[in-house]
Structure 1
């Protein structure tokens, strides 16, 4: 391809090699429609397509978010109610979603299958350029909001998917804090409103306003198209031109993001947020001190990432330490945000009180001034720079397509008419920043962008009991007034509208409409599974598991310590231990020096607690604490040295430091508990059903309850050092660990030679491996919060009823998530979503999230067996569900994920041939196999194991559903 030539209507303006991502970028513009396009040619088989629009709402009705939902509800070529859902059911996609940001909306897809990739592009392009919602207001009613009135005498209510989703978002205090902060920082621009929608304003959106927003924002001249991966680009350009872009003429668009005028002086404001009637209010205030930064270059953005890590993220972070030691908050954090036109830098403190507000601002500014006057710790900065550089070079996004990460990054420049490719280059910026370590580069940055900057806001939100109840009463009164002012004809019209909407939701798409969605053949599916090689060797009596993999020069190490030697009571201390490893002193030095060393030489060191069930076995599992580290192969000696220091030389005697970390952990849970609702309620149900479920709950809600109790009990805190030391002594033994090493051929010997001298010094005392005796929970829990929506879970164990885990259960998961539960709980019930999981240890769970209902959702679960007994499906629709299920079983494997996959197979005892047989069962699944699962589901549901987290009054009004009413915190 040559610059200035036209290919299928696209003029090629630029070709640029980007060594950092091993790709070549082609920047083009479609001459007739005005659409912009960038293609990155890469050998990656995981292809990515994205179309984005600059969307700049002027109010908080959530019009951009509701638009994102609504355009995916049927289009010209695909006249179904929800083509997006039909795609998810029957695609081999590796990513399929849509995202609303404060100033843009993105529609990305990815697949390794060429035919599938083309199908995904076609459906998404037709959706954004020819959506049915332009003429169909009922789609906006369903996805956005509508009045609900089944009978003329009923109370008038609001319902809608986005309405309930955002009620859930606004139930988390950190979301409330962010919303208020953006409103104060950007009062005159699109960032001052909530593109996702504020539930207090969503119901102001009219269909006419919605249509106008589409007209202004969803034209090719306002679009940004991205293609990535190994493909025939000229074929893709021809498709884009012939099927879509050639039908549009370029227009002038005016969707620019306005600049917020800088403040002449900062602001300090406070707002209440709601907590439950029994939730504590002390130490529950959140503060956010934020600056809008002037004149930020891409190099400065990278420097601010380094600065944020050094000042606020690292355990040695001086600004964080200053605020914690001054008692401003239990948890101090911060972030730099450059995905908006005017980047911002934020310091946040949680676990605080409102009277600390002025102290926070004073300490932040005085500490930064002192650091600039004395000079920042160069070793700390270099360590943080190394940590950021490692992440850039590793480019691991947890299995997500790497091309998706590239386009998200590029949009941070492209959207504002700056060079999009500039943000993919980082070598020069890294070199300049590293050079700046010798001078006053970072000090000058702080002075210019923060200390001499008055565009700042300190926002605090404080807990207030009864706030949500008053708001609910106001909404109820408002709706009663609205209804009272309606004529009988208007009331009857809403009753009829409610009926029509329900009929629409309950009426299945026609076979003809369903057939419009392109579909792969079962022959496109591969029943085989990629084998991850694992070789065993020994260091003394300790087993080493080598997973040979091409890793781009990075080694991954995992120490898998078994927890069978602990009592159930001691698991709590193991969880604390996992939280604090690498963040406390060792016998060799303080935690600040340790943190610098880790960041200087490693790409990360962390630990977590998990349980791996035995394949197909009821209540047989291996409880583990996994200590993980990763580093460049050249840093392998440092990796081994640091792992040894962290697990063998930790000093637990500093009770003041331990108290800080306990308080920090509690503060984090206080803010995030509601957001983790689906995980909490699912595991709480499983805690009634199985030992492994209770084990996991011990580290989830059980941990939160115990850490809250410990944090509020000064008498118990001094006992913590002894408890932790004793638990660590039991866990960190040479004969209690399996070591994983992921690297390239020839690297194992070096690792074993480095690790052997350390392992040989570890305690090898024999301890009982059957000390862990788990006691299940009893009774159904209703977990009350001030939240506006619920998470509703019900489940049990099907092995208890004589069944085993089979392939059709995975197909049923797909059917329930995108058919039965989707229609009954999301579409009709107004929840954000629902899912089902069947596990190979027999555990089964159904769960809804951000759900306005409770008893109605439990009734949906109750009616599932009958749905299954009546289940019928065409061969084509069955094939769709099978393909969608296989897609979920075939997530891409990055080097970082291959080791854990191999270790999971090892501890579970799973055999590759059994996995292949399971996949064959999925591919061979027939409708009658789904019908047969009614006999599996029904007895499990009859066991009546339930847990809900949500609105306090809603839970208390359910009668005798719950045996225990539990308060968060």
Structure 2
């Protein structure tokens, strides 16, 4: 395509090669409708499409978020209740979702299959341009909010998917802090309101206001379309024009994101948040100091990412250390965010008290002034620059399509009427920034945008016991008063609306409506597994594994140490050890120097605890500590040196530093525990029935509980160093080691040459294995939090009842997630979601997510066998479930994930042949196979293994469900 040529109504405005994304960018404008389109032609079969809109809300009713949910609930060409769900059930997509941001809404999809990609585009374009929600208020009632009243004698309540989702969001203290922070910083613009919706205001949204929002913003003239990958672009443009854009004429849409006028002086504000009546208030305050920037160039934004990494993210971060040492908080974090028209730079202190509030700003600005006056440590800044540059070049997004990341990134410029292409290019910016190391480039940025910046706010939240209970009581009183003010006719109208909504939710879509969703054939599926070669050899007492892979000159390594030589007590210290290595001094360097060394030479370093189940084995699993590092091939020598230094020459003698790290980790858990509730309660259930579940529980709530005890135990903290050193000496032995390397042949030869003498010098003592056992009393637990919603899990182990893991169970996971549990838990129950997992060791868990209910959801799980015995769908619907299941088995594999997958097969004693047979079972799954699983589910449900995390009132009202009721660790 050439500039100024027109294709299917799209005029080409610009063509530019962008070497950073290995593609050519075409910027187009659809002249009739006013739509914008950016296409990146790149040699990638994982194609991406998105359609986005600038959607600045004017209040906190969540209208933009509810709109995102609602437009996906039926459209002109696809008149189903939820085409989105039908797509997920039966698509080979590699990504399918929608996202609400503070000022925009995005609808992205991705697939490697051409036909599937076309289908996804069609459904999404019809959803946004021709949704049924504009004529059907029931959709907004379901997805947003509605009054729930089953009979005139019952209590009037609120219900709705987004309403409960946001209740869950605002159950986390950091979300509450961010909400107040943004309202203080942007009192006059869209950023000062909550685009996702504040539960206190969501119920103010009217259907008329909802429709007005749609008609204001969901027009092609306000749209931004993005295409990426290897495709026939002219066919795609013809389709978009002929099926959609040709129906519209360009209009003027007033959707500009306003600028907040700078403050003449900074603000200071404090707000309460709720904790449980039995929770300790000490150390539970959080402070946030945030600066608002003017509109920034991509180069300056990249520079601020580097500044943030250097000052706040790295273990050597001097600003973070200054705040920790001053006792401002047990955890200090920060970020730079440029996905707003006016970017923000933030420092947050967790684990603090209100008397520390003012000190935060004083220390931050005094420390920065001192650093600017003396000049920033060039080695520290260069190390952070290298780390940032590595991430840009690697472009690994954890298995998500790379085109998706590009599509999201271009919007950070595009919707503010800035160049969407320039933000993808970084080479020139990196050159300028690197040259700036020789001068005062970074010091000038800090002075101009932070130290002399008066557009800032210091916002804190402090704990208040019983606040949530008071709020819930006030809501009940408000609804009771509202009900009392209504006439009998008004109440009967709400009862009828409730019944009508439930009838709509329960009614199946017609076969004709279902048939409108395009579907692939089973012949499009393959049982074959992508082969990942793994070569194994011995290296002294260790085992070396090579996964041949071309990875753009980047090598990935992992050092696996078995932890079954440890006792249960020692396992806890191994967990602590994994958090400390790389963040304490070594024999040769301070931890600050180590952090710079890592950032200068590596692309990443991490340590995790892992448990890999052995294929088909009821209790067999391999417990591991995994040390991962990645680097450019030219830095392999440094990688091996750093691993050697960290594992065998770390010092655990600085009690003050170890105490800082333990308190920091505890503060992170305090913030994150509720957000991870679904994972934690699922693990609590599997801990009742399996050793691997007990190991993971020890890495979850068990670890949190022990960590909370350790923080309060001065004697324990004083002995911590000796405990860590003892555990390290037991773990880090060559007879206990497997090493993985991902790269090319000559790179592997070089790695082997480097690592052989190093490993040869490591201890090789042989210690007993099979030592690790668990002695805990694992019961049905109700875990009380100050949260407004629940995570409800129930499960067990089907091998205890004589059943084996089969492919039909994965198909059933898909059926439950997007049919039975979706309808019963989400649509009817109002939860954000629910899922089911069947594992090959026999573990089985059902879990709801951000759920307003508790016992009702448990009943839904218990009623599943009856549903399964009556399970009957058309051949087409069954095919849909199978295709969707295969999509989950065929997620894209990056070079780093190839290594992890190969080692998972090795430690799990699996094989590609077993995987192929399992895939054959999935493809061949029948309705009879699904019905046969009713007995499996029923037998496990009768075992009655339950765990729930949620609000105090809900937990205590269901006390008979639990063997014990506890609070989150303090």
TM-score normalized with structure 1 length: 1.00
CA distance in 1, matches of 2:867, 2:745: 53
1:561 and 2:561 equivalent?
A: yes
CA distance in 1, matches of 2:540, 2:729: 19
Q: Is the 8 A contact 2:295 2:343 kept in 1?
A: no
> Counterpart of 1:850?
850
Tell me by how many angstroms 1:723 deviates. 0.5
CA distance in 2, matches of 1:249, 1:296: 33
Tell me by how many angstroms 1:809 deviates. 0.2
1:576 and 2:582 equivalent?
A: no
CA distance in 1, matches of 2:719, 2:514: 64
Q: Is the 8 A contact 2:541 2:764 kept in 1?
A: no
1:667 and 2:667 equivalent?
A: yes
Q: State the secondary structure of the residue aligned to 2:615.
A: coil
CA distance in 2, matches of 1:148, 1:655: 56
Query: What does residue range 402-551 of structure 1 map to in structure 2 within 5 Å?
Result: 402-551=402-551
> Counterpart of 2:883?
883
> Counterpart of 2:789?
789
1:335 and 2:332 equivalent?
A: no
Tell me by how many angstroms 1:606 deviates. 0.5
> Counterpart of 1:167?
167
Tell me by how many angstroms 1:316 deviates. 0.7
Tell me by how many angstroms 1:911 deviates. 1.4
Query: What does residue range 205-244 of structure 1 map to in structure 2 within 5 Å?
Result: 205-244=205-244
CA distance in 1, matches of 2:220, 2:913: 49
CA distance in 2, matches of 1:530, 1:795: 32
CA distance in 2, matches of 1:611, 1:317: 32
Tell me by how many angstroms 1:295 deviates. 4.4
CA distance in 1, matches of 2:90, 2:700: 34
Q: Deviations over 1:489-543 (max 9, x none)?
A: 0000000000000000000000010000000000000110101000012221211
> Counterpart of 2:204?
204
Q: Is the 8 A contact 2:171 2:787 kept in 1?
A: yes
Tell me by how many angstroms 1:776 deviates. 5.1
1:190 and 2:190 equivalent?
A: yes
Q: Is the 8 A contact 1:694 1:775 kept in 2?
A: no
Tell me by how many angstroms 1:280 deviates. 1.7
Unaligned runs of 5+ in 2: none
Select between 769-778 and 362-371 the one with higher mean Cα deviation: 769-778
Tell me by how many angstroms 1:276 deviates. 1.2
Q: State the secondary structure of the residue aligned to 1:746.
A: helix
Q: State the secondary structure of the residue aligned to 1:72.
A: coil
Query: What does residue range 858-869 of structure 1 map to in structure 2 within 5 Å?
Result: 858-869=858-869
> Counterpart of 1:281?
281
Q: Is the 8 A contact 1:694 1:777 kept in 2?
A: no
Select between 578-587 and 834-843 the one with higher mean Cα deviation: 578-587
Q: Is the 8 A contact 1:584 1:651 kept in 2?
A: yes
> Counterpart of 2:391?
391
Q: State the secondary structure of the residue aligned to 2:960.
A: coil
Q: Deviations over 1:367-400 (max 9, x none)?
A: 0000001110000000000000000000000000
Q: State the secondary structure of the residue aligned to 1:715.
A: helix
Q: Is the 8 A contact 1:687 1:776 kept in 2?
A: no
Tell me by how many angstroms 1:773 deviates. 1.3
> Counterpart of 2:802?
802
Q: Is the 8 A contact 1:276 1:952 kept in 2?
A: yes
Q: Deviations over 1:93-141 (max 9, x none)?
A: 0000000000000000000000000000000000000000000000000
CA distance in 2, matches of 1:294, 1:43: 37
Unaligned runs of 5+ in 1: none
1:679 and 2:710 equivalent?
A: no
Q: Is the 8 A contact 2:295 2:341 kept in 1?
A: no
Q: Is the 8 A contact 1:3 1:15 kept in 2?
A: yes
CA distance in 1, matches of 2:789, 2:634: 51
> Counterpart of 2:937?
937
CA distance in 2, matches of 1:277, 1:408: 42
> Counterpart of 2:826?
826
1:357 and 2:357 equivalent?
A: yes
CA distance in 2, matches of 1:807, 1:317: 49
Q: Is the 8 A contact 2:282 2:353 kept in 1?
A: yes
> Counterpart of 1:616?
616
> Counterpart of 1:130?
130
Tell me by how many angstroms 1:569 deviates. 1.1
Q: Is the 8 A contact 1:690 1:776 kept in 2?
A: no
Tell me by how many angstroms 1:294 deviates. 2.3
Query: What does residue range 882-901 of structure 1 map to in structure 2 within 5 Å?
Result: 882-901=882-901
Q: State the secondary structure of the residue aligned to 1:536.
A: strand
Q: State the secondary structure of the residue aligned to 2:959.
A: coil
> Counterpart of 1:300?
300
Q: State the secondary structure of the residue aligned to 2:304.
A: helix
CA distance in 2, matches of 1:277, 1:548: 56
4+ residue segments displaced more than 6 Å? none
Q: Deviations over 1:793-841 (max 9, x none)?
A: 0000011110110000000000000000000000000000000000001
Tell me by how many angstroms 1:778 deviates. 2.7
Tell me by how many angstroms 1:715 deviates. 2.1
CA distance in 1, matches of 2:776, 2:69: 41
CA distance in 1, matches of 2:776, 2:146: 43
Name the Cα RMSD after superposition.
0.6
CA distance in 1, matches of 2:635, 2:568: 38
> Counterpart of 1:70?
70
Q: State the secondary structure of the residue aligned to 1:689.
A: coil
Tell me by how many angstroms 1:296 deviates. 1.8
CA distance in 2, matches of 1:278, 1:968: 10
CA distance in 2, matches of 1:875, 1:952: 46
Q: Deviations over 1:773-805 (max 9, x none)?
A: 123533200000110000000000011110110
CA distance in 1, matches of 2:776, 2:651: 34
Query: What does residue range 91-110 of structure 1 map to in structure 2 within 5 Å?
Result: 91-110=91-110
Q: Deviations over 1:477-497 (max 9, x none)?
A: 100111111011000000000
Q: Deviations over 1:70-113 (max 9, x none)?
A: 00000000000000000000000000000000000000000000
Q: Is the 8 A contact 1:691 1:775 kept in 2?
A: no
Q: State the secondary structure of the residue aligned to 2:595.
A: helix
CA distance in 2, matches of 1:508, 1:214: 27
Q: Deviations over 1:187-233 (max 9, x none)?
A: 00000000000000000000000000000000000000000000000
1:117 and 2:117 equivalent?
A: yes
Q: Is the 8 A contact 1:688 1:776 kept in 2?
A: no
> Counterpart of 1:838?
838
Number of residue pairs matched by the alignment: 969
TM-score normalized with structure 2 length: 1.00
Q: State the secondary structure of the residue aligned to 2:385.
A: helix
Select between 556-565 and 741-750 the one with higher mean Cα deviation: 741-750
CA distance in 2, matches of 1:581, 1:276: 35
CA distance in 1, matches of 2:475, 2:857: 23
CA distance in 2, matches of 1:967, 1:644: 41
> Counterpart of 2:366?
366
CA distance in 1, matches of 2:805, 2:175: 39
Q: Is the 8 A contact 1:559 1:627 kept in 2?
A: yes
1:920 and 2:951 equivalent?
A: no
1:654 and 2:654 equivalent?
A: yes
> Counterpart of 2:749?
749
Q: Is the 8 A contact 2:612 2:623 kept in 1?
A: yes
Q: State the secondary structure of the residue aligned to 1:305.
A: helix
1:708 and 2:726 equivalent?
A: no
Tell me by how many angstroms 1:748 deviates. 1.3
CA distance in 1, matches of 2:920, 2:514: 26
Q: Deviations over 1:436-458 (max 9, x none)?
A: 00111000000000000100000
Select between 193-202 and 749-758 the one with higher mean Cα deviation: 749-758
1:906 and 2:914 equivalent?
A: no
CA distance in 1, matches of 2:850, 2:110: 27
Q: Is the 8 A contact 1:47 1:227 kept in 2?
A: yes
CA distance in 2, matches of 1:200, 1:885: 38
CA distance in 2, matches of 1:904, 1:777: 30
